[in-house]
Chains A and B, each alone.
Chain A
Amino acid sequence: MERPIRVLVAKPGLDGHDRGAKVIARALRDAGMEVIYTGLRQTAEQIVNAAIQEDVDCVALSILSGAHNTLLPKVVELLRGEGADDILVIGGGVIPGEDIPFLKEKGIKEIFTPGTPTQVTIDFIRGNVNR
């Protein structure tokens, strides 16, 4: 049997809003994925370490503090540095539409903004993980 998709749900930076991260984590788990949630205040380095240690297929970054342009690309960059650029990186939170092209260019595959049904995220992960 194929092993379930493994996802690291992470909160980069100092942001304390974790409602969305927890909802996503539960929804992914209910959809049959294995989910690890980091808790708050993770540096890019901590997130990348956890992603590699846990051998995940996807890193889902939740951020509502406005620091996304700094912190999200850093995660992708560090993953590349570790030769782990096969891991799918996605983001979600309060992220203005005009920042999305920049983030995608930096290697974040998709950004899910407020109001996105969890099913959309689930389908995206299923359709885009490298395995």
Chain B
Amino acid sequence: MMFDKDQISILKEAVDKENAKTQEKLQKRPERKKEFTTGSGSPVNRYYTPVDVSALDYMEDLGLPGEYPYTRGVQPNMYRGQFWTMRMYAGFATAEESNKRYKFLVEQGSSGLSVAFDLPTQIGYDSDHQLSEGEVGKVGVAIDSLADMEILFGGIPLDKVSTSMTINAPASVLLAMYIAVAEKQGVSSEKLRGTIQNDILKEYIARGTYIFPTEPSMRLITDIFEYCSKEVPLWNTISISGYHIREAGSTAAQEVGFTLADGIAYVEAAIKSGLDVDAFAPRLSFFFNAHNDLLEEVSKYRAARRLWARIMKDRFGAKDPKSMQLKFHTQTGGSTLTAQQPENNIVRVAIQTLAAVLGGTQSLHTNSKDEAMALPTEDSVRVALRTQQIVAHESGVTEVVDPLAGSYYIEAKTKEIEDEAYAYITKIDDLGGAPKAIDVGYIQQEIMDASYDYQKKMESGEIIVVGMNKYQIEEAPPTGLLRVDPAVGEMQKARLVELRSSRDNTRVTETLVALKKACEGTDNVMPFILEAVKAYATLGEICGVMREVFGEYQQSVNL
């Protein structure tokens, strides 16, 4: 990093000499471990010096904050302008219950909403479908039709909040419902701000809420890109997610490599469908995990930003700087939480929060201490949100942009993760791109190997998780966990019966027939979905039509 060549060689000599001497001492007094590694298992040297970063060129590889390749952040002043969006993922039971939780979160200083849907909603089944049994309202809110969505956002002005919706396979349907609710509030779609996750590739890889096969899924996604570029210009049309890849057990470098490979597939699909790269790329957003190895995580975010900027510029010829800026949401790592001594999770989340902020995140969800056991209670959500507020207002790390830049370790790790991620991308390119690499199970296999490796290390005690495999205590089972009322399923079913008898069923049928035709042809399906939604066709009916035309994805599993 702009070191004099002579200085580097003098330093290198000194390091070699010091190392020889120290290794001799270490023979007599060995270190705590034979090998030191990051949380992801990549090697960590005893210390780092300018020698380790001598290949970096400051202007080319780091640049200034807000400037290409955005290693140091996407804005010139980062959190001196405004803090990241404190966005707490929430939703359970009915629309009424979730609406109450959203209002609570806004009162407590949450600056954006983030909607969790239940599994039937995420997989396009109505609450009265046979496969929905036992699942209604459990991991998120149950939405069957526009009627539920109207209740969910009742009293929340959609021109004032930004809303993130964790919805993938049926993303177009839920986005259409959001647009329709806004219209009823008198808010036009150009004013809507928010994000849909809409990232189907990682569903096949790691998260599991897919519906349709790869090809029609990619079409639905590019239809959304095109529709939003005209009708909902402020909407982030996709949140390309490494979060779930990491939760499934990947390393930090795999998280970056596989996520950006997915990103490349979406960009290629959109270009192939005739869109100009700069027309949609500024609305692409990303979603990463934050695990406990603070310095590795900070390096990871910086590496992801630099690599994406280079991909967009060099590979896709983007001209608009906004197309090159990797903007991302972060969630703290659910799989790092322990069911044992749950109070300890507050500390883990604080470290992870710091990692996300030092890594330059645009928004953040912090997990609550009880989430290894159940959905969080209001009290534990408050502590999680306060953790962000403490880092924002008290820690001081927000007053200066990218404060860890220039650390020999951070810069060396950033480069290492970038190189490793790029190698994964090259491998995936060789396999024919992310959709093909998923179809042959390559990405899933890599993640499974990493996750099994981690498990073995944990069981052998090589990896210590405090309270779980060391420092255990006798504990009474936790009390006061949040429970979803089992009656929610029955309530939703009753509501569906009422809806189906009170709506204009002729109009429902007409809009569904029109949608089917659009699915069979090549028109953008978004306007047709919007019409069906406004006629109060249910999510299950709309997805049912699409299932008929598109078929369903068949998962293949190798162990």
Contacts and interface: CB of A to CB of B under 8 A. Distances in A.
B11 interface: no
Interface string A74-98: 0000000000000000000010111
Chain A contact patch, size range: 35 or more
B339 A67 contact: no
A7 to B, nearest CB: 12
A27 interface: yes
**SS class of chain A's interface: helix, strand, loop or mixed?**
loop
Contact of B247 (A19, A66, A67): A19
Interface in B520-544: none
B123 A14 contact: yes
A118 B134 contact: no
Contacts of A13: 119, 131, 134-135
Interface centre among B133, B134, B135 (most CB of A within 10 A): B134
Contacts of B367: none
Contacts of A41: 123, 131, 208
B44 interface: no
**SS class of chain B's interface: helix, strand, loop or mixed?**
loop
A39 B555 contact: yes
Given A71-B134, A96-B481, A117 B459 contact: yes
A114 B209 contact: no
Interface in B347-386: 372-375
A16 B340 contact: no
Contacts of B131: 13-14, 41, 43
B339 A26 contact: no
A47 interface: no
Contact of B559 (A15, A22, A43): A22
B335 interface: yes
B484 interface: yes
A115 B559 contact: no
A40 B208 contact: yes
Contact of A26 (B123, B132, B452, B555): B452
Interface in A4-46: 13-19, 22-23, 25-27, 29, 35, 37, 39-41, 43
B186 interface: no
B559 A65 contact: no
A40 B373 CA distance: 21
Contact of A97 (B132, B248, B478, B555): B478
A53 interface: no
A128 interface: no
Interface centre among A27, A40, A94 (most CB of B within 10 A): A94
A131 B81 CA distance: 68
Interface in B96-134: 119-120, 122-123, 125, 130-134
A76 to B, nearest CB: 14
A16 B335 CA distance: 14
Nearest to A13: B135
B555 A65 contact: no
A43 B484 CA distance: 22
Given A19-B335, A22-B451, A39-B557, A14 B135 contact: yes
Interface string A106-129: 000000011101110000000000
A117 to B, nearest CB: 5
B335 A69 contact: no
A19 B555 contact: no
A27 B206 CA distance: 20
Interface string B497-512: 0000000000000000
A113 B481 CA distance: 15
Contact of A16 (B208, B339, B478, B556): B208
B478 to A, nearest CB: 7
Contact of A23 (B120, B207, B373, B452): B452
A26 B372 CA distance: 23
A115 B134 contact: no
Contacts of A16: 119, 203, 206-209
B468 interface: yes
B502 to A, nearest CB: 28
Given A22-B448, A23-B452, A15 B208 contact: yes
B374 A119 contact: no
B30 interface: no
B329 interface: no
Given A19-B249, A97-B477, A29 B559 contact: yes
B338 A114 contact: yes
B22 interface: no
A11 to B, nearest CB: 8
B455 interface: yes
B338 A115 contact: yes
Interface in B186-219: 203, 206-209
Contacts of B249: 19, 23
Nearest to B372: A114
B478 A96 contact: yes
Given A25-B559, A94-B374, A113-B339, A17 B208 contact: yes
A117 B465 CA distance: 12
A23 B335 CA distance: 14
B180 to A, nearest CB: 26
A66 B139 contact: yes
A73 to B, nearest CB: 10
Interface of A: 13-19, 22-23, 25-27, 29, 35, 37, 39-41, 43, 65-67, 69-71, 94, 96-98, 113-115, 117-119
The 8 closest A-B pairs by CB, nearest first: A16-B208, A70-B134, A97-B477, A67-B134, A66-B138, A14-B119, A115-B468, A114-B339
7 contacts: A13-B131, A66-B374, A67-B138, A70-B134, A97-B478, A113-B339, A114-B339
